[in-house]
Amino acid sequence: MADRVAVLLAAGGESWEAAALRLLDGDGMVVLKRCVDLADLLASAATGQADVAVVSGDLGGLDADAVMQLLRDDVRCVAVGGDADALARIGVVAVVAAAQLSDLSETVSSAGARALVVDPDPLPAPSPDPVTARGRVIAVHGPAGAPGRTTLAIGLAAEHAQRGHPSVLVDADPHGGAVAQHLGVLDEVSGLLAAARLVNAGSLDTESFARCRRVVSDHFEVLTGLPRPDRWVEARPGVLDAVLDRAAEVGDVVVDTGFSLEDDADLGRPLSRNQLTLDAVAGADQVVVVGSAEPTGLARLARTLVEIRDSTGAPVTVVVNRMRDSLGWGRRDIVGMVEGYVRPTGVHFLPEDRSTTDKALVGGRSVVELGDSALRKALSEVYDAALVAPSAHSAPPISR
């Protein structure tokens, strides 16, 4: 820590700003900059020259995500005015009442001398009704190469809804979700990003979460995903856990995840792009792993099964997609390969059925809505294994 505490000031036009400048100029402190808004404050903190940010407790946009960004730059946040309890929950280290501004100098000096504090956890939403049954969370995961994660996730959620059970499909692909496009859902604002902002503000309750979701059909709702791949930074670590807790109050939850379980933080990056996928898999009650039946797809599936084995203790169901006789190998060969990496609750095969999948994509519908087909029948078997009677300890049945 430097001899003098370097301060950034973002008063948001409050009347106490001039007095705060006088108090912070001297006594081992120096004001580096008066910031016009939160964006200016965050950009200034990123230079690495500041120790403490003094902000208005009512500064526009100030939430746990903003405080976390300051902490990553080793900048502690002190607020003047505002709700002390709410500010403490988002990670603000101290709050000074505007009427007691004379305490500001001592408070800032103390904050500047503190060891680095940890990132704030996402704010807890109001506790659910204890009598409300919690739905299960089923994560659909798979390797790169478009093995059919989204199609399978939509199919499982739609099948669940068609059988009369409340179902919430959450698009948590950090590389840019495609659930909305598959189902023809028009959403001006991403449901996931809207829910993430509510989590950061500590206000993701039952009513606000309902506004984030879109109704597809009876019992079937969707939380749409990231509109662009670069928006993944807005869904910070821990957000998905809070979102899935709310979704599980509505019914069983199917999560469409990304393709990678690699933790980017291990590479020295401040955030992991794959955190959404890591959180979805780690917090799932059941994981469904899907891979393509062709050679490259099976090689990628094998690597993914190794990652899954180390990432979750939940039951794992394996789905091999686009299976066809022309590939030249039998299902038992594939089952043997799968069981060499994990002990699944089931290994299931979906046939190559371009006609059905093309009709679903063009019509913005799920495979389940298109009536009977070989693909629909096989999907129903996967549903029975993953959502009806999953067991981590039973012998793995083989769909033939």
- Give the pair of three-digit tokens for residue 364: 């913005």
The whole-number pLDDT of residue 361 equals: 87
Per the document, the length of the chain is 400
Tens-digit pLDDT profile for residues 175-197: 988 999 999 998 878 999 999 88
Judged by DSSP in three states, 77 sits in: strand
What is the reported pLDDT for 115?
58
When pLDDT is averaged across residues 47-55 and rounded to a whole number, the result is 93
pLDDT per position as a tens digit, 98-132: 999 999 999 999 888 765 544 445 555 555 555 45
Q: Does 264 or 279 have the greater pLDDT score?
A: 279
Q: Average per-residue pLDDT in the chain?
A: 87
What superfamily does domain 137-388 belong to in CATH?
Answer: P-loop containing nucleotide triphosphate hydrolases (3.40.50.300)
Q: What is the mean pLDDT of residues 190-208?
A: 88
Confidence of residue 9 (pLDDT cuts 50, 70, 90): very high
**Fold observed for domain 5-113:** Rossmann fold (3.40.50)
Helix (H, G, I), strand (E, B) or coil at 271: coil
> Residue 162: which H helix or E strand, with range?
helix 149-162
Question: Which amino acid belongs to residue 288?
Answer: V
What is the value of pTM for the model shown? 0.71
Q: Could you tell me which residues come within 8 angstroms of residue 387 by beta carbon, excluding any fewer than 6 positions away?
A: 136, 138, 156, 159, 160, 252, 286
Spatial distance between the Cα atoms of 75 and 69, rounded to a whole number of angstroms: 9
pLDDT score of 133: 74
| Range(s) of the chain covered by CATH 3.40.50.2300 | 5-113
The number of helix segments (H) and strand segments (E) in the chain equals 15, 13
Using alpha carbons, select from 45, 40, 104, 34 the residue that is nearest to residue 76: 45
Distance CA 129, CA 135 (A): 14
Of the listed ranges 269-273, 292-296, 338-342, the least confidently predicted one is 269-273
Give the Cβ contact number of residue 85 at 10 Å: 8
Mean pLDDT of 133-162: 94
In sequence order, which residues have a C-beta less than 8 Å from that of residue 270 and are 6 or more positions away? 72
DSSP per-residue codes, 289-345: EEEESSHHHHHHHHHHHHHHHHH--S-EEEEEEEE-GGG---HHHHHHHHHTT---S
Amino acid symbol at 331? R
Q: C-alpha distances in angstroms, 131 versus 35, 134, 252?
A: 48, 9, 16
Model pLDDT for residues 322-361, shown as the tens digit of each residue = 998 888 778 999 999 999 999 999 999 999 998 999 898 8
What long-range pairs does 295-301 form, CB within 8 A, spacing at least 24? Answer: 296/145, 297/143, 297/145, 297/147, 297/321, 297/322, 298/334, 298/337, 300/143, 300/144, 300/145, 300/147, 301/142, 301/143, 301/147, 301/338
Maximal CA-CA distance, the chain: 80
| Residue limits of CATH 3.40.50.300 in the chain | 137-388
Bridge partners, 292 (sequence order): 321
Return the pLDDT at 398: 39
SS3 370: helix
More confident residue, 370 or 153: 153
